[in-house]
Amino acid sequence: MTTRRELLALAALAAPLHRAFAQSAPIRIGEINSYSTIPQFTIPYRMGWQLAVEEANQAGGVSGRRIEVVSRDDAGRPDDAIRLATELVSNEKVVLLAGTFLSNVGLAVADFALRSKVLFVAAEPLSDAVVWEKGNRYTFRLRPSTYMQSAMLVEEAAKLPGRRWAVIAPNYEYGQSAVASFKALLKARRPDVEFVAEQWPALGKLEAASAVQAILAARPDAIFNVTFGADLPRLVREGNLRGLFPRVPVVSLLSGEPEYLDVLKDETPKGWIVTGYPWDQISTPEHTKFLEAYRKRYGDYPRLGSVVGYATFTAIFEALRKAQSTDTEKLIAAMRGLEWTTPFGTAVFRRIDQQSTMGAYVGKLDVRDGKGTMVDWRYADGAKFLPPDAEVARLRPAEAQK
């Protein structure tokens, strides 16, 4: 019969083995995105983060532990995203959450992260509220926000001679946030401008003929466009048909991304001032390395979503290495001020608002060889297009800054 002393001795011997096994267990990351709703962006996004995971695991994992991603499709619905986040944290035992595309979905998951005290790295949602008005200490955001990208575009918009502006944007958080930022920033530079027409179609339900007719009736000197996805080609085709484009200059958020140029092809409107991703023209070492790895893995070129997915997960891996732990509080400490390398160069998660400084490319649209492309572009460093710290501190809840 085994004595109590012998049982204690066996337990002591087993403890190091148990710790070693726990240490070698995979690090499970929960990932949520709108794969079935916005596949033109989210599928390349998934390919990007899958490449990052494969590279990490082939190199021995992160801090000696394999990365395992449990991915779910939120179908573009906030309620579904919250249900899936609950499942991932409670049942799948993930150590953190990442992803989301639509701003209203991202805000819902950010609120879940606050209530559940779990780290959330928001990859794509652009609403300023994600890190400012509704920001919390558990949520970090990768992509440049609506404010940041609007500020990048306003530099060029302010040079246009016209005073009368029209806007067209999807009527939900992202569109509302983008228009508010653009208006405020443009009027700060050009007090003489006025906004004479606004079109607010429901996301994915643009009635292009009536929207274009209303804009034409207002006789604007320039247009700020925030539509994307299926709405963008509808707007472009109707605007081309009715002579709105290229007669009236357009400043457009996101329209230079390959996801949308791939669809527009030779219908791409020339001269639009846009943010985007001229993937075939960037020759920096960081981008060349990423491009070569991506093409080798998939036999295809990356889209902007590919960069976002890759950069989101490489940031997470760097935070895990820095923290040397999967504890949420230690990961938050590691993420604040984290510096890492993206395909666009070095970026930092700012301590003050947990916003990444990864930037965007700003240029004009053109058509080359029957395809849409960006020309006259430049890289806009995100760190240069954020408001002063005092303004950020005023916008962000005090408890989020602890």
What are the domain boundaries of the chain? Answer: 12-144+283-359+389-401, 147-281+361-385
Q: Residues of the chain whose pLDDT is less than 50?
A: 1-2, 7-11, 13-22
Write the CATH number of the domain with boundaries 147-281+361-385: 3.40.50.2300
* Long-range residue pairs from 340-343, CB within 8 A, at least 24 positions apart, any chain: 340/314, 340/315, 341/286, 341/314, 342/286, 342/307, 342/310, 342/311, 342/314, 342/315, 343/286, 343/287, 343/289, 343/290, 343/291, 343/302, 343/307, 343/310, 343/311
pLDDT of residue 98: 98
Question: What pLDDT is recorded for position 111?
Answer: 98
CATH class of 12-144+283-359+389-401: alpha beta
Token pair, residue 39, equals 């596949």
Q: For residue 2, what pLDDT is reported?
A: 46
Q: How many CA atoms lie within 13 A of 105 on its CB side?
A: 27
Rounded alpha-carbon distances, angstroms, from residue 214 to 179, 197, 199, 209, 220: 18, 8, 8, 9, 10
Q: Are 150 and 129 in contact (CB under 8 A)?
A: no
**Contact in structure between 274 and 374 (CB atoms under 8 Å):** yes
* Beta strands 339-342 and 345-348, pairing class: antiparallel
